[in-house]
Structures are given as structure tokens and as C-alpha cells.
Amino acid sequence: MTRNNRSSSWRIIIHLSCLVLTLFLCNLAWRSLWLYPLIVLLGFLLATLFAPFHECTHRTAFKSKGLNLLVCAITGTLIGFSWSAYRVFHFAHHAHTQDPDQDPEILLDPFKLGVWPDTFMTWCSRLSGVGYLRLKLTGFVTCWRPGYEDGFASSSTEARRETRVMSVVWLLVTIGSLYYSDIFVPLLGGFVVSHIFLGLWLTAEHTGCPFEGSILERSRTLQTNGILRYFLWNMNYHSEHHGWPGVPWHRLRQFNLAIEMVGQSGSGYVDTYWAAYKKNARNR
């Protein structure tokens, strides 16, 4: 389907404006109890910037290659992901979704990362997004080690350079929090909280799907409310995205209605997790 610059331009402007407005409200609410729910909201808005970041690495968000790269750089810096590294990583994930021998998302431990957790503490660990936070913070440090290479933050010269820039930006934010705490402390808090939302969002996309079968069977589409669809840039339609990755985000819902079926489908994020938890509990 045809890409354009208009749809994503308006969406990213609104998304970033909501983030700036929430940061401003955090400033006004400093030292009041309102600050805490605002930091949670800030975390949600930062986490969901992963959606335009993801779309721009596919280069489907905008018709313009330059706009895709610009939004990649802005959103990648705010969420702490190298866009060059993520593009290589993510395309390998698309090529080998749920393949225990080749999918980089589960490769470290496919029979732990590719299946539903089997204990309460494992559920908490997965859904908290602590693994994503650890990956980013480790990358911010190791990217400065001469000659160091890994599978992500320092996987290439470009990735290392981008990660170094991001690490400096977030170091300046940390230093700034000592002098302008009413602005930078909420931003740091939002960055940490954002990983809980990432864990809740991304875990549902493939976890528990089979290691074999069609790409639709190895991905999951979830139905959710309009607000979440808006800020997730329709990424809840994940089976459709994997089946037809060239379809722009703003056409995914239309695409979902047009095709007869998707492989794995959940009624909602909470319902999907609850059903998986109960099933595992019965099988123990």
C-alpha cells in the first residue's frame, strides 16, 4: 500500500507534543503527589515511541527516506536504541520469527524467552521489561570499550557511534537532574518506567506462539482500545505486520479487517496474559 509523509508527520508531532506537555506538567506538579501518575504517563509516552522508531527502521512510516532516518534518530535517542543496530536485529527477527536457532529475540534461551513464563517471579521479570533496561544501560557502557563487539549496541561502527551519542545525551540528562531536578528527574523516572510498558507490550507479540508453522501462526494480533492503538501506531496488529511488513502502520487496521484470519489472536493484552498464566498454572 502507498506510503505518504502526511499520516506519520501528524502522528509523530502529536505524540511528541503529548510527551513535552506531560514533562511540563511534571514541572508544575513537582513536590506534589500528582508527580507520580505523571511520571507513569511520561513512561507510557516514551515506551510507545518505540512504535514510530520501529516503523521508521522499516522505512514504511514516511515516503521520504530522510524523514524516516530523522525520526529514527529522535525516537531512538529518547528510548535508548541504536537505529542501525535495531534494523539489522529486527530484520533477522522477521526472517526467522520464533526459530529457536536463528531468531535473535529468543536466541539466548529460546525455551525460556519463546514460551510463556512458568513461575510468578518469571512473569514479573518478563513483564517488568528489566531485560530491555539492562540491555540499554550495558550498551551505554560497553560502547566505549575499544574493540568491543556485541550483538546489538556495538555490533557495527554505526551502532557504536549512535550508542555513544545516546549515552552522552542520557549522561547529560542525569547530570542535569542534579541542577534542574523538576525537569530531568521526571524524565529519568519516565525512562525507567517506560520499560514496564515495553515489557507488557512486546512480550505479547510472539511469546507462546509455536516455533513452526506459517508466519501468521508465529505472531500474535491483539485487539485493544482506540487510545492504545493510537499510541502503539497499530502495532497491536502484529500478525498482519509480520505477514506483510511493507504495509504502512496507518493501513494495518484496514488490512486486519480485509483478511479472513490471522494465526494467533488475543482478545486483549491483559486477557492474553491472564489466560496464559492460568493455563501454565493448571499444567504445573
pLDDT band of 263, cuts 50, 70, 90: low
List the grid coordinates of 98. 520464533
Mean model confidence pLDDT for the chain: 91
Contacts of 214 (CB under 8 A, 6+ apart): 263
Give percent above pLDDT 90 in the chain.
75
The two most distant CA atoms of the chain are separated, in Å, by 56
Q: What is the C-alpha to C-alpha distance for residues 67 and 232, in angstroms, rounded to an integer?
A: 19
pLDDT band of 82, cuts 50, 70, 90: very high
Q: Which residues pair with 265 in a beta bridge?
A: 221
- For helices 269-283 and 181-206, the axis angle rounded to 10 degrees is 60
Q: What is the C-alpha to C-alpha distance for residues 18 and 21, in angstroms, rounded to an integer?
A: 5
What's the distance, Cα to Cα, between the start and end of the chain in Å?
46
Residue 2 has pLDDT above 80, yes or no: no
Contacts of 247 (CB under 8 A, 6+ apart): 1, 60, 240, 241, 255
Q: What is the C-alpha to C-alpha distance for residues 18 and 276, in angstroms, rounded to an integer?
A: 33
The model's pLDDT over 89-133, given as tens digits with 9 standing for 90+, comes to: 999 999 999 999 999 999 878 878 899 998 889 999 999 999 999
pLDDT band of 146, cuts 50, 70, 90: confident
Residue 264 has pLDDT above 70, yes or no: no
Is residue 86 within 8 A of residue 73, CB to CB? The reply is: no
Is residue 163 within 8 A of residue 154, CB to CB? The reply is: yes
Which pTM value belongs to this model? Answer: 0.94
State the burial class of residue 126 (Cβ atoms within 10 Å of its Cβ: 0-12, 13-18, 19+).
buried
The larger pLDDT score, comparing residue 265 to residue 63, is at 63
Task: Indicate the length of the chain as a whole number.
Answer: 284
Q: What is the C-alpha to C-alpha distance for residues 179 and 40, in angstroms, rounded to an integer?
A: 22
pLDDT at 262: 54
